[in-house]
Structure 1
Amino acid sequence: MLSHSATRLSCRSSINTASRSAQTFKAFYATIRSLRTPYEPPDPDDVEPSEKDFILSLLRANPSLRDTKSYLASFGPRPLPPQPMAPRPAEIPVQTDKDVTVHLETKPPDIKRAPSPVLASILNPVYRRTALVKIQAPFTDRQLESIARGMVYLEKLGLVSVIVVENDQLPRGDSRERTALVEETMRVVNALEKQGARARPVLGAVVRLGPKPGGECSSEPREYDEPEAHTFPGDLVHIRSALRAGEIPVLPPFALDSFCRSIRVDGNDVIAALVRGMVEAAALDRTSPVGEDSPSSSPDEMDLTPLRLMMITREGGIPSYARQGMPHLLVNLTSEYDYIRDTFDPRWRLSHSTALMNLKLARTCLAYMPPTSSAFMVSHRSPSSLIGNLITNKPALSSSLPHALLQSHRKLTADTPTILRHGLPIRVVRRVDDVDKPKLKDLLEQSFRRQLDDAPFWERMERDLDFVIVAGDYAGAAIVTRERCPMGTSDAIGPLTYLDKFAVRPEHQGNGTVDFLWVALHDETYGLGLPFSANPNGGKEGKGEGRDLVWRSRADNPVNKWYFERSTGHMCQGDWVLFWCDAEARLKTEEGRRGAARGALSYLEDWEVGRLATWSDVVMKIPSSWKPKPQLPAKK
């Protein structure tokens, strides 16, 4: 029997309920589940900020220190050039009446006092970057006002939008379609100017119909679709001119055909062509010699490389099975694109008619954009969320949080945006022989900043490994083992599913890799058996029985806050904290059975009796994987 202090259970509710008073449970073991907490109604004060609440929108973004550094690296003040050291003041000899020479110091008249670094950083303008924005019209004047306010927010932060206006409800081939698209473009321009921005309509075609010459001859396999239009650097002169003048260019979806006629095309083709063309033009600007005719020599010229792709629609994000039709929060296009497309519910094709087309557009565009870029599917009702995405490059809520917590969170609504990243492939490896040992070792040592004790670690993996989830080329990994339980307990709770290591390289932290990895871990362990846990990357694809997942962490580990939010419960064990996640399918089955009998789940079910003592006994005996830290020599 464990002592009272060693078995004290730190219970933590996953949802902020109306009654937040401290509770003491008399049960010796207790498990807090967000599935058993009531729904929290939305806060009536949580409304979109007005025009005067720009600062409030920044605060609501709640960026971390890493987010702030990343934003400042792209948009922060330019570093000041090193100032030359001022020469020492000259000494002028002056002859006095008593034949005593006095040296007077004089300051050169052309040397000015340098401003303070703080003042210089405030007065120095931020870098301006570009974003491609698709406005999926039609919108009312009030809705356009909300969209324009979001564009103005972004411009204040240094991100200037290049807007393409599309209207799928306008019949193709209609005699008035060109006039209607021009009118829709001018409505967007007027809405921007009413919000204080400067906008310029670019009504001439800047892209050309058809694949780019030479691009179709490439023999390399592509994971994206080739754009149906293209543009050359010289075609971007009107967009460059508008950006140089501090104006937001707004374009209708026109393109030049082979007869040099300006015709209407799909807006997604214009967006894809512009993304590719702007990336190529920016690369050309960087390699061109600086001269009078070089765009990069102009102080008013900005980098044309798009950092964001934004698709503003009436529909919002992509619906998800895991959230009963509420939007996906974060999508890994490399590993999830085919699954989302193939399992898209036919009912969603009516309510989210453009979702799959925009998903395809995001995959094509992000293939050309920098790895740090992201795509953003957002409703016109969420202008302030544009700020949060720009500063943090993250979704409103982490996609790896428990599904029950997300489902009842007041920030998760039908208008919650979906963030799309190019992402990394995720695969499940079940044999040690299939693991790249040098790469995995380097990943663990880079992540934990300790030296791996190779021989005993790999010997243990050969004996106890269940599987390894690998992200990309070992950018991240989750190692799961099957631990033997003492005799007499394994029949009750089965072999212990233990998260031995969860590691992500430092350079991939903050780009979604952590969430991608944890979601795959959920699908293979405690989320297994649920219909939305079909991991198509070598895993069990949702088939099987979910298992409780257990792991431990040092009590002073700064990552523990992240673990607290994702675990079902935790228990302090001296210098360690024991975490666990209950098998969700088992809870849902029991909850349904109790519901039919009008009974509720208790905080201590029969299968939970004694399991914490068993888990603690097993986990605390697992040897360390690291070599001892070298001891500093004692001072004499």
Structure 2
Amino acid sequence: MLSSSFCRSSSRAVAASTSKARSAQTFKAFYATIRDLRQSSSAPDVDDSEPPDNDFIMSILRANPSLRDTRSYLASFGPRPKPVPRAELKSNETLLPATQESALDTAAQPPDIQQTPRSSVVASILDPIVRRTALVKIQGPFTDRQLESIARGMVYLEKLGLVSVIVIENDTLERGSDGERTALAEEAMRVTNALEKQGAKARPVFGSIVRLGPKPGDDNTLEQREAIPEAHTFPSDLVHIRSALRAGEIPVLPPLAMDSFCRTMRVDANDVIAALARGMVEAAAADGKLQDEGQEPEFSDDVDLTPLRLMIINKEGGVPSYARSGLPHLLINLTSEHSYIHETFDPQWRQTHRTALSNLALARTCLQYMPPTSSAVMVSHRSPSSLIANLITNKPAVSSSLPHALLQGNRKLTPHTPTLLRRGLPIRVLRTAAEIDRPKLKALLEQSFKRTLDEEAFWERLDQHLDYVIVAGDYAGAAIVTSEPCPPGVGAHGSITYLDKFAVLPSHQGDGTVDFLWVALHDESYGLGLPFSANPNGGKEGKGEGRDLVWRSRANNPVNKWYFERSSGHVRFGDWVLFWCDAEKHLKTEEGRRANAGLSYVEDWERGRLSVWSDVVMKVPSSWKK
């Protein structure tokens, strides 16, 4: 049998071989960098140094997108089938799905010598990419070298179909100072020039796009929002932005707004961005409504005005985390974590990360108007390639659901690691079977596993063995944990903490729900007893002793790769794989007690537990009908 220590040693060996392979691949780039440094007469200022990973193709490769990531990207930016106008359909015809319609058309039409067959790869290259928009806050001031790096990132995004609408900010420019408007105009021109030097077309927009104050009618609306922007805009106000986008130019805006007396004044850039997020979504919805009605929108073009991303580029980087000694949060669930981040924000961070909380509030305001699949990223100017990874994968640089010990020792985590923010879902912990909405949980399990639940046996088992259920949103995801009794005299607790089901609706896979749910599972089981498990999810808030978490999975389950990365160890039993996560407090205590000696392959407290786990877990009956 395998022990967790052995699996950890194997992981280090695999990591070493992977690192060696990557080193070989990047040797030439490393050599070139060293050569350039030797030829330089003086070392550049660290803050102005150009990031080493700014090559476009390499940035895409480093993103390492999965098949699901690629499909999601193509769904947003890939060519879309053109709908057949309803007016052209005969009375007895019906609309067919795009794939069937194309197949029928191909079969029915005779070959045309002017229609040259093309491979799918060639077609995907030659067909135009759908352009989407991103709202970008460039929070300076930045040096020319730093702006060059930022502009390169914006150009890379444009090549991938994401067109930026940029709002600049200058933190050192005092509000109401002499020459304030002139300084902002000059800053906008600097950003515009930096973009054009990188090959992009850009246009400064000096007029007021947004209006101060709440939007007329907000007081009467029935829709309740967590935060209402301090400014607003109407579709007609966006004419300059639309004009720039239609011309293939990146609009660059200073933070200006018009007051009730039609005077243009400087405002906080966050107010401008929040107003644009809401206004652009509403304008795009109005365009879509006209198209659905068969009318031509007034501002028709090939750019989808709905913001797909919010990007905040600054010198601070992401939001510092109490769980990582001030290193940035990796992924934030704004719905469930916003208040808790405020409560745990160290006072000293108000000096080193002065705008972290205001940017957090900006992301929360914007994402409530943007589509559920949208995300926000807070990133340092040192990491322009992180924007590409975020666009392609819509995931954090490092998964937040990885074991905490692994995250603490991960060299990828630096003060400049980006923070990804999602609207997220509320997370709650149910302690009794009576609290479960059974029809909703049944629907979740059957949609996720694509099998039929054996309801009577399943609910009877939960009534007897349920420990707790973690629910994300309105049953968009759930983790069901049971307490499985051990044989008399076996096991430190007399029972095994067993992950019976971990399920997320297909519509929520890829939107962060999986990571949010696993982090909550960690905080309620094997992460208990440590301060970073004091979560705001209505659970134990980190109080108590951590418990080993055990679960099983079919050997051919494609999710196992994800489980391998998050478990302490695993062992195969025929068609099954048994996974476990060691109680982190116990593991940390043992490692500290042994100091430099480290853990041996099989600790005394580990002996015999795998045979007990396998004997108990493999006897858990199936929840599905055959």
The reply on whether 1:13 has 2:8 as its aligned counterpart is: yes
1:561 Cα deviation (Å)?
Answer: 1.1
1:9 Cα deviation (Å)?
Answer: 5.1
Equivalent positions of 1:464-503 (< 5 A) are 464-490=465-491, 492-503=492-503
Q: Which residue of 2 aligns with 1:400?
A: 401
Q: Which residue of 2 aligns with 1:338?
A: 339
1:529 Cα deviation (Å)?
Answer: 1.1
Distance 2:475 2:504 in 1: 8
Structural RMSD (CA): 2.5
Q: Which residue of 2 aligns with 1:412?
A: 413
Q: Which residue of 2 aligns with 1:167?
A: 170
Equivalent positions of 1:177-256 (< 5 A) are 177-218=180-221, 220-222=223-225, 224-256=226-258
Counterpart AA for 1:315: E
DSSP-derived class of the 1:428 partner? strand
DSSP-derived class of the 2:533 partner? coil
Distance 1:84 1:436, change over 3 A: closer
1:80 Cα deviation (Å)?
Answer: 6.0
CA contact (8 A) 2:316 2:353 kept: yes
1:538 Cα deviation (Å)?
Answer: 1.7
Counterpart AA for 1:139: F
Whose radius of gyration is greater, 1 or 2? 1
Q: Deviation digits for residues 333-370 of structure 1, max 9, x if unmatched? A: 11111111111111111111111001100010000000
Q: Which residue of 1 aligns with 2:314?
A: 313
Distance 1:15 1:246 in 2: 51
1:416 Cα deviation (Å)?
Answer: 1.1
Q: Which residue of 2 aligns with 1:35?
A: none
DSSP-derived class of the 2:326 partner? coil
DSSP-derived class of the 1:136 partner? strand
Distance 2:149 2:594 in 1: 46
Q: Which residue of 1 aligns with 2:432?
A: 431
Q: Deviation digits for residues 369-389 of structure 1, max 9, x if unmatched? A: 001100010111111111111
201-210 or 116-125: bigger deviation: 116-125
1:86 Cα deviation (Å)?
Answer: 8.7
422-431 or 604-613: bigger deviation: 604-613
CA contact (8 A) 2:488 2:494 kept: no
Normalised TM-score (structure 1): 0.86
Distance 2:160 2:616 in 1: 52
DSSP-derived class of the 1:63 partner? coil
CA contact (8 A) 1:14 1:565 kept: no
Q: Which residue of 1 aligns with 2:47?
A: none
CA contact (8 A) 2:485 2:495 kept: yes
CA contact (8 A) 1:15 1:405 kept: no
565-574 or 232-241: bigger deviation: 565-574
Distance 1:157 1:226 in 2: 32
Q: Which residue of 2 aligns with 1:581?
A: 581
Distance 1:52 1:271, change over 3 A: closer
Q: Which residue of 1 aligns with 2:265?
A: 263
CA contact (8 A) 2:54 2:385 kept: no
Q: Deviation digits for residues 444-497 of structure 1, max 9, x if unmatched? A: 11111211111121111111100000011111110001111111114x343211
CA contact (8 A) 2:3 2:602 kept: no
Q: Deviation digits for residues 521-541 of structure 1, max 9, x if unmatched? A: 000000011111112222011
Distance 2:597 2:534 in 1: 31
Q: Which residue of 2 aligns with 1:512?
A: 512
Distance 2:486 2:11 in 1: 35
Distance 1:18 1:65, change over 3 A: closer
CA contact (8 A) 2:53 2:59 kept: no
Distance 1:52 1:398, change over 3 A: closer
Distance 1:324 1:18, change over 3 A: farther
Equivalent positions of 1:312-391 (< 5 A) are 312-391=313-392
1:617 Cα deviation (Å)?
Answer: 1.4
Q: Which residue of 1 aligns with 2:61?
A: 59
202-211 or 586-595: bigger deviation: 586-595
Distance 1:599 1:78, change over 3 A: closer
Distance 2:615 2:295 in 1: 74
CA contact (8 A) 1:49 1:56 kept: no
Equivalent positions of 1:548-559 (< 5 A) are 548-559=548-559
Distance 1:392 1:295, change over 3 A: farther
Distance 1:66 1:621 in 2: 34
Q: Which residue of 1 aligns with 2:615?
A: 617
1:294 Cα deviation (Å)?
Answer: 2.8
Distance 1:436 1:291, change over 3 A: closer
Aligned length in residues: 577
Distance 1:517 1:460 in 2: 23
Distance 2:66 2:336 in 1: 27
DSSP-derived class of the 1:378 partner? strand
209-218 or 237-246: bigger deviation: 209-218
Counterpart AA for 2:237: D
The reply on whether 1:157 has 2:152 as its aligned counterpart is: no
Equivalent positions of 1:41-60 (< 5 A) are 53-60=55-62
The reply on whether 1:606 has 2:607 as its aligned counterpart is: no
From the two aligned structures, give the one with the greater helix fraction.
2
Distance 1:575 1:292, change over 3 A: closer
Percent pairwise identity: 72
Q: Which residue of 2 aligns with 1:453?
A: 454
Q: Which residue of 1 aligns with 2:87?
A: none
Q: Which residue of 2 aligns with 1:27?
A: none
CA contact (8 A) 1:9 1:572 kept: no
CA contact (8 A) 1:78 1:124 kept: no
1:218 Cα deviation (Å)?
Answer: 3.2
Distance 1:327 1:550, change over 3 A: same
Q: Deviation digits for residues 201-244 of structure 1, max 9, x if unmatched? A: 0011100011111113335543x211000001111111011001
300-309 or 510-519: bigger deviation: 300-309
1:571 Cα deviation (Å)?
Answer: 1.4
383-392 or 11-20: bigger deviation: 11-20
Counterpart AA for 2:433: V
1:288 Cα deviation (Å)?
Answer: 2.3
Q: Deviation digits for residues 269-292 of structure 1, max 9, x if unmatched? A: 000000001011111111226899
Q: Which residue of 2 aligns with 1:116?
A: 118
CA contact (8 A) 2:3 2:606 kept: no
1:21 Cα deviation (Å)?
Answer: 8.2
Counterpart AA for 2:256: F
Distance 1:19 1:548, change over 3 A: closer
Which of 286, 289, 293 is equivalent to 1:287?
A: 289
The reply on whether 1:462 has 2:460 as its aligned counterpart is: no
Distance 2:519 2:12 in 1: 25
Distance 2:14 2:495 in 1: 38
Distance 1:351 1:500 in 2: 44
1:74 Cα deviation (Å)?
Answer: 1.1
CA contact (8 A) 1:253 1:266 kept: yes
1:13 Cα deviation (Å)?
Answer: 2.7
DSSP-derived class of the 2:303 partner? coil
